């Protein structure tokens, strides 16, 4: 059986999983691919480190350049993370004619345009299933399975840590800091959870999904991102009372005029919506195509084994591509270099929680400001519970453009009867 | 842009959808594939028939042989259905070096072994995404996305008609005949619904899924199949009371000793299980791999547009394969020609509904027979409601091998206190 040489950059959690399972599931992989996937060289930061997998010392190097220069390596797998070194490695590998597999979502989101331009110039594909939603084959499904579809929308839960924290807050009535502490204690959140809880991990994945669906790279300054750090236990409870669960939701969809909207933020999802029942560290994506209609994909969005599953799938496809002589580029991102709809023009329903004085006439003042901006109220609740001398007032707002809603909230905030910063969240409609 | 020539056999619902959407979504398909998919010839049974799509008369023929003989055709799409003519067409197309795309589940389930043997011999791939679960890219996901996984189990709702009927029976407390009538009136069941309601449509799909997961073709005489015709409105209600929904479930999984079990039958699914909430004409598959863990795929399992989405995906992959020079065979079914676990040895929990005389001591007699076969009872209910001079007695049974359970039921049936044929259903554990 022919061998395909693999150069593995990075032997952290995912790199170690890939090395281990290429050996452990070797028989089934060779049979199914028709080729043997042979790891010929592994680049690591510190050669001496004690690791969970034992690769022969002679294939380990601390210089990733050796992967690129080795003629026995046909596929380079970038699993070192970070931006600069990973970018150098991938660009050099493409220049050297190597097929590239990567799980680096931040890198693709920030420099995908340059990387894919280089790949197209060299006629070499890049595979990146592990960059989005762990083991769920969502890249392959959108790029290949739905190739005949105009993608109308993607609504997705893409960050397992945030979803775990929000699930904890919902199920155990915890506030954010306590739920985060528990997630860290149970290994579902990093010591530094910044990128998870501030929404940017999900935003990087959303940018990659949008590039597949719409053929252009949304700039990191074009996607509206908010994290779950500001979500209050109160909001989780009030949302529940109104028939919603709060999820960190990524939305990517085409609008009239073929503009694309992309935003990631805590969102009230109606309880009967299938995404509302996705709990814990799981990821889920609802993809709507003009032919296929609504589809749902669900699975583990992170972890060594699921991510390894995706990297091995990419390695198989890369190996088959290489073995075919690398003639057909295959499944190219299409050529529509589109535009984003500015977030100000995106319409949605909203959840607005105010802290107001406990006196008659307050709702009238709030409703009057909303009315003057042509914004309609769908429902109002005044839950029990004083906060000092203020009480909560919660409104669900009909669809309105985001800029108009923000302006109205500024007006409401300046009312004398409003005692604290209003809490504004999106509602999935 | 290079063109790839397509010969389309069949211009029924799916064939017409494929022709229409290859034209309607042409721009996006060409951009993404990097090739133009050009339908060069269409074979139909009656040339003169008035159709929903208008193809140029000069490309329509009533002889499918013309597709096979035309050197300008690189891909043959078989959408004529049935077994014999479709088999001839596919074998002749492979002999002529054409790549084959088909949505013919019955054909693959019955003669897949011969067809794939021929394909391997000729080094030409066959694509069949449309054969299972409509627009859901489940073939691609298992074959390619999970290529690094040992598939541990697949539990799937694969027949939209049955699921629609069972949903109606559950939601509107209908009996089977009335629910079937409504499904027919609403266009969700054929005038002849035999293959849908007797379980065989789902069984064909299960055989195809098993071939991907385990690399061998289960014979149609090796898969245990029961349909929903025998499910009584009573059973739907009693299952509900016990915390279950009844679904036509396909189960494919490996057992100890690497034997594969495959069976399709009405099954009680716990309400909290994600498959319990799949309603109406939707399909869903829960796939568990040793690396990826549990994943779920959900979408429309039939209909012109979703099925067209899958055929176009296959056409794209076939075109890229052809364009690459057809060197790499790619994603071969692996070589483990395995064995089935006989249904008699498969273990499961069960639901047993008896019609018994309304007298003390009946449960003791039933329990005694079960106990003598080492079969444990998990719960018992005696719902209200006389049937003549008999009353229902419903038991949920702990896991036991199917043959032992059947023998016990025969014993129970011969008791004097048992007044009618017992109803035995499987329970998903």
ipTM (interface predicted TM): 0.95
Q: Does A23 touch chain B (CB under 8 A)?
A: no
Listed in order, the ranges of chain A carrying CATH 3.30.70.260 are 346-427
Residues of chain B contacting A136 with CB distance shorter than 8 Å: 292, 295
The secondary structure element, H or E, covering residue B265 is strand B260-270
pTM (two decimals): 0.96
Q: What is the pLDDT of residue B429?
A: 84
Name the B residues in 392-411 with CB < 8 Å from any A CB.
Answer: none
B408 to chain A, closest Cα gap in Å: 39
Give the Cα separation of A340 and B244 in Å (integer): 46
Tell me, letter by letter, the H, E, C secondary structure of chain A. CCEEEEEEECCCHHHHHHHHHHHHCHHHHHHHHCCEEEEEEEECCCCCCCCCCCCCHHHEECCCHHHHHCCCCCEEEECCCCCHHHHHHHHHHHHCCCEEEECCHHHHHHHHHHHHHHHHHHCCCEECHHHCCCCCCHHHHHHHHCCCCCEEEEEEECCHHHHHHHHHHHHHCCCHHHHHHHHHHCCCCCCCCHHHHCCHHHHHHHHHHHHHHHCCCCCCCCCEECCCCCCCHHHHHHHHHHCEEEEEEEEEEECHHHCEEEEEEEEEEECCCHHHHCCCCEEEEEEEECCCEEEEEEEECCCHHHHHHHHHHHHHHHHHHHHCCCCCCCCCCCCCCCCECCHHHCEEEEEEEEEEECCCCHHHHHHHHHHHCCCCEEEEECCCCCECCEEEEEEEEEEEEHHHHHHHHHHHHCCCCECCCCEEEEECC
B344-427 CATH fold: Alpha-Beta Plaits (3.30.70)
Q: Enumerate residues 6+ apart whose C-beta is below 8 A from B412.
A: B352, B354, B366, B369, B370, B418, B422
Residues of chain B contacting A326 with CB distance shorter than 8 Å: 324
**Chain A residue with minimal CA distance to B299?**
A295
Q: What is the pLDDT of residue A203?
A: 98
Give the three-state DSSP class for B230: coil
Q: Enumerate residues 6+ apart whose C-beta is below 8 A from B153.
A: B251, B252, B253, B254, B286, B287, B288
A428 pLDDT higher than 70: yes
Average pLDDT over residues B72-76: 98
**Closest residue to A293, CB basis, from B147, B300, B334:** B300
B405 pLDDT higher than 60: yes
Q: How would residue B335 be classed by pLDDT, with cut points 50, 70 and 90?
A: low
The 10s digit of each residue's pLDDT in B337-357 is 688 999 999 999 999 999 999
Name the burial class of residue A26, with classes exposed (0-12), middle (13-18) and buried (19+) by CB atoms within 10 angstroms of its CB: middle
Q: What is the pLDDT of residue A333?
A: 66
Q: Does A312 touch chain B (CB under 8 A)?
A: yes
Question: Which residues of B are catalytic, by number?
Answer: 205
Top residue of A16, A148, A215, A320 to mutate, by most chain B CBs within 10 Å, is A148
Q: Does A211 touch chain B (CB under 8 A)?
A: no
Question: How many Cβ contacts (< 8 angstroms) between chains A and B?
Answer: 230
Give the Cα separation of A321 and A308 in Å (integer): 20
CA distances from B121 to A225, B107, B117, B124 (A): 53, 19, 6, 8
B334 pLDDT higher than 70: no
Listed in order, the ranges of chain A carrying CATH 3.40.50.720 are 3-134+304-323
Q: What is the pLDDT of residue B177?
A: 96
Helix axes A304-323, A26-33, angle to 10 degrees: 30
Q: Which of B116, B81, B84, B82 is nearest to B100 (CA)?
A: B116
| Inter-chain touch A33–B291, beta carbons under 8 Å | no
Q: What is the pLDDT of residue B286?
A: 98
Buried b (16+ CB within 10 A) or exposed e, B136-157: bbbbbbbbbbbbbbbbebbbbb
**Closest residue to A299, CB basis, from B147, B295, B309:** B295
Listed in order, the ranges of chain B carrying CATH 3.30.360.10 are 139-300
Q: Which of these CATH numbers, 3.30.360.10, 3.40.50.2000, 3.30.43.10, 2.60.40.10, describes A139-300?
A: 3.30.360.10
Q: Does B147 touch chain A (CB under 8 A)?
A: yes
**Closest residue to B141, CB basis, from A141, A150, A312:** A141
Residue A152 vs residue A326, higher pLDDT? A152
Q: What is the pLDDT of residue A335?
A: 60
Name the burial class of residue A121, with classes exposed (0-12), middle (13-18) and buried (19+) by CB atoms within 10 angstroms of its CB: exposed
Give the Cα separation of B44 and A208 in Å (integer): 42
Q: Does A296 touch chain B (CB under 8 A)?
A: yes
Q: Does A164 touch chain B (CB under 8 A)?
A: no
Q: Does A317 touch chain B (CB under 8 A)?
A: yes
Question: Which residues of A are catalytic, by number?
Answer: 205
Q: CA-based angle B88:B89:B93, to the nearest 5?
A: 115
**Chain B residue with minimal CA distance to A307?**
B292
| Inter-chain touch A299–B292, beta carbons under 8 Å | yes
Instruction: Kindly state the percentage of chain A with pLDDT values over 70.
Output: 98
The 10s digit of each residue's pLDDT in A311-325 is 999 999 999 999 988
Q: Does A374 touch chain B (CB under 8 A)?
A: no
Q: Enumerate residues 6+ apart whose C-beta is below 8 A from A141.
A: A287, A295, A297, B137, B140, B141, B145
B306 to chain A, closest Cα gap in Å: 4
Q: What is the pLDDT of residue B325?
A: 86
End-to-end CA distance of chain B: 54
Please give the mean pLDDT across all residues of chain A: 94
Phi-psi region of A91 (alpha: psi -120 to 50; beta: other; left: phi over 0): alpha
Give the Cα separation of B317 and B129 in Å (integer): 11
Q: What is the pLDDT of residue B64?
A: 93
| Inter-chain touch B293–A299, beta carbons under 8 Å | yes
Q: What is the pLDDT of residue A351?
A: 98
Q: What is the pLDDT of residue A186?
A: 92
A346-427 belongs to CATH 3.30.70.260: yes
Q: How would residue B389 be classed by pLDDT, with cut points 50, 70 and 90?
A: confident
Q: What is the pLDDT of residue A334?
A: 62
Q: What is the pLDDT of residue A385?
A: 77
Give the Cα separation of A409 and A393 in Å (integer): 13
Q: Does B305 touch chain A (CB under 8 A)?
A: yes
Average pLDDT over residues A279-292: 96
- Spell out the CATH class of B3-134+304-323: alpha beta
Q: How would residue B333 be classed by pLDDT, with cut points 50, 70 and 90?
A: low
Give the Cα separation of A121 and A126 in Å (integer): 12
Alpha helices in B221-292 (DSSP H): 233-241
């Amino acid at each position: 059986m022919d061998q395909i040489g693999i150069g593995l950059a990075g032997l952290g959690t995912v790199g170690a999983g890939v090395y281990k399972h290429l050996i452990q599931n070797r028989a089934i992989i060779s049979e199914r691919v028709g080729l043997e996937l042979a790891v010929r060289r592994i680049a690591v930061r510190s050669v001496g480190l004690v690791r969970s997998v034992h690769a022969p010392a002679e294939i380990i190097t601390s210089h990733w350049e050796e992967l690129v220069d080795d003629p026995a390596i046909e596929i380079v797998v970038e699993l070192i993370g970070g931006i600069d070194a990973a970018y150098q490695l991938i660009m050099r590998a493409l220049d050297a004619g190597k097929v590239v597999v990567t799980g680096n979502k931040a890198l693709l989101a920030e420099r995908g345009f340059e990387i894919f331009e280089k790949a197209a110039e060299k006629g070499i594909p890049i595979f990146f299933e592990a960059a989005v939603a762990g083991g769920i084959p969502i890249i392959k499904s959108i790029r290949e399975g739905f190739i005949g579809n105009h993608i109308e929308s993607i609504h997705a839960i893409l960050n397992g840590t945030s979803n775990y924290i929000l699930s904890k807050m919902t199920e155990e009535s915890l506030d954010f800091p306590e739920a985060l502490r528990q997630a860290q204690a149970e290994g579902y959140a990093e010591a530094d959870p910044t990128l998870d809880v501030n929404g940017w991990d999900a935003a990087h994945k959303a940018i990659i999904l949008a590039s597949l669906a719409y053929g252009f790279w949304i700039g990191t300054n074009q996607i509206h991102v908010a994290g779950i750090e500001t979500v209050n236990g109160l909001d989780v409870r009030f949302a529940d009372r109104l028939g919603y669960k709060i999820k960190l939701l990524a939305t990517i969809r085409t609008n009239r005029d073929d503009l694309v909207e992309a935003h990631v933020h805590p969102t009230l999802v109606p309880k009967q919506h299938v995404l509302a029942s996705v709990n814990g560290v799981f990821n889920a994506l609802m993809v709507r195509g003009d032919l296929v209609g609504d589809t749902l994909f669900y699975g583990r969005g992170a972890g060594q084994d699921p991510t390894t599953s995706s990297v091995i799938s990419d390695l198989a496809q890369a190996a088959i591509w290489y073995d075919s002589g690398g003639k057909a580029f295959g499944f190219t991102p299409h050529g529509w270099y589109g535009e984003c709809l500015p977030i100000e023009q995106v319409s949605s329903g909203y959840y607005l929680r105010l802290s107001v004085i406990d006196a008659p006439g307050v709702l009238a003042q709030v409703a009057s400001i909303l009315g003057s901006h042509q914004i309609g109220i769908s429902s109002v609740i005044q839950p029990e519970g004083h906060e000092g001398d203020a009480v909560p007032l919660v409104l669900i707002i009909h669809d309105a453009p985001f800029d108009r809603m923000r302006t109205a909230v500024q007006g409401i905030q300046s009312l004398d009867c409003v005692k604290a910063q209003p809490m504004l969240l999106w509602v999935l409609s």
